[in-house]
Amino acid sequence: MDVCSRCGKSGHLEGACAATSIPPPANPTPAPIYSLPPLGASVPPGALGSSGTYSVTGTYGAAQNPVSRALRMLKTQLNLAVGQREEDPERAWLELVSVRERLNEVADGAKDDPLLLADVERFGGRLEEQIAKLTRDVGDEVVAPLYSWVDLLRQRARLDEEVATASGRVAEARASRGAAAGAVPATHQEASNTLAAAEKELAWWRSETPPLLSLEIRGVWLESGGDALRPTLPVDPQVVRERGLAARGVLERVRGRSPGAVQYAGSKLELVLLPTFGISALLMSMFALASTSARGPLGVVAAATWLAFAAVIAVSFMARQRGDAERRAAIHAAWYHTLFSEQAAALELEVGWLRTLAATLRAREAFDTHKGEGGQLAELATWRPDLEPVVVEVAKSSIVPPK
């Protein structure tokens, strides 16, 4: 039977069909859905997921975040430790403790990432469960020696850190006062001998340090350049001391005025006397040469005038020399006080660190020679020498370095 392809009814062909349009199908095809909005349309917030600027896991992506990588490494270490729990429970316990010590740093780095911080907290809970389970399984007879071993190594590492810090501060104090860089004491006896010598030297510097400078001397020091004069001044303490003591005698004669401020030099009196006597001597010489009858008396007067002019010049020269000597004395006195005060302060700091170094060296030597501490540490090392590197790593990872 013929079926019309236009209306879908039978009994006629398409050419004889009276229908005007094809009816829509019963189940129309849905419009296509695109994953991106049309061009120019706005993007709803959060549509970009967790990448780029809209990431909810922090600035870094999961694969680029160093804290996330560190956490994955700790998870791997935890799995390896759990896997060797039956074969070597001591090593497994140490590995778990090492993971716990390192987890604190990872948690600090994940504070700005809520999702990563939650992951770290979940991992921390799992880690504590594994440590508690392993501790129950192996018993105190296995864990107790490991606790003691780690604790003793922590004490020894802290002593090493304190000794290294004190040694570095002693070297810095020596460099600050320009002393020769010698070997830092390595034993308690050497530190005690060095401390005694330094205390004796400090007592000398303190006893030789002059009193505070007057405002006038300090003003001359600053006007002359202050610290800019250091390269031109001696640093030998004996030379500085001798010049400083000699300067005191010069400065004691200066009362009520600034050193170098001589009243006559540059005064109006000098400006009047010098040209007056100079012109008078020249005129009297001219009159004596021009006169024939009174040449003798005029010559005597001219000579006396020249002598007076020379005396005025000598007084001016001596006044300026005196001012220069007072200024040099003020500089030497100021440098004497400055150098000795700085040396005493730097040496006092060095003595303080030498005391600390001697105390830490004594404590470390006592730790090493004491049978209950250093001896026990040696016995534990001979018990399981294969575990010693792991124990050392666990002990050092929990020590906060000094600031």
**Is residue 237, in this structure, part of any structural domain at all?**
yes
Q: Give the highest mean pLDDT range of 84-93, 142-151, 217-226, 376-385.
A: 217-226
- In this predicted structure, what is the pLDDT of residue 34? 41
Domain end point (choices 104, 121, 138) = 138
- In this predicted structure, what is the pLDDT of residue 260? 64
Decide which of 228 and 303 is more confident. Answer: 228
Mean pLDDT score, 260-278: 69
- In this predicted structure, what is the pLDDT of residue 51? 39
Residue 264's pLDDT band (cuts 50, 70, 90) = low
CA distances from residue 321 to 134, 157, 246, 314 in whole angstroms, order as listed: 91, 66, 17, 10
Rama region for 45: left / alpha / beta (φ>0; ψ in -120 to 50; rest):
beta
**Is residue 48, in this structure, part of any structural domain at all?**
no
Domain end point (choices 332, 357, 382) = 357
Domain end point (choices 138, 154, 182) = 138
- In this predicted structure, what is the pLDDT of residue 325? 80
Decide which of 319 and 359 is more confident. Answer: 359
**First CA to last CA distance, the chain:** 100
Whether 153 shows a pLDDT value over 80: the answer reads no
Sign for the pseudo-dihedral over CA of 230, 233, 235, 237 = negative
Residues 342 and 271 in one domain: yes
**Is residue 152, in this structure, part of any structural domain at all?**
no
Residues 259 and 327 in one domain: yes
Whether 352 shows a pLDDT value over 90: the answer reads yes
Residues 206 and 128 in one domain: no
Residues 216 and 347 in one domain: yes
Residues 344 and 265 in one domain: yes
Residue 224's pLDDT band (cuts 50, 70, 90) = confident
Contact partners, residue 65, CB within 8 Å, separation at least 6: 57, 58, 113, 116
Percentage, residues of the chain above pLDDT 70? 71
Residues 206 and 132 in one domain: no
Q: Mean pLDDT across the chain, nearest whole number?
A: 75
Range in 41-45, 230-234, 303-307, 394-398 the model is least confident about: 41-45
**Is residue 145, in this structure, part of any structural domain at all?**
no
Mean pLDDT score, 225-244: 89
Decide which of 394 and 162 is more confident. Answer: 162
pTM of the model: 0.56
**Is residue 308, in this structure, part of any structural domain at all?**
yes
Contact partners, residue 155, CB within 8 Å, separation at least 6: 367, 373
Mean pLDDT score, 199-215: 88
- In this predicted structure, what is the pLDDT of residue 55? 40
**Is residue 309, in this structure, part of any structural domain at all?**
yes
Q: Provide the domain limits for residue 77.
A: 62-138
Mean pLDDT score, 357-364: 91
**Is residue 265, in this structure, part of any structural domain at all?**
yes
- In this predicted structure, what is the pLDDT of residue 378? 65
Decide which of 169 and 372 is more confident. Answer: 169
Residues 240 and 92 in one domain: no
Whether 52 shows a pLDDT value over 50: the answer reads no
Residues 214 and 323 in one domain: yes
Looking at the structure of the chain, the number of domains it has is 2
Percentage, residues of the chain above pLDDT 90? 13
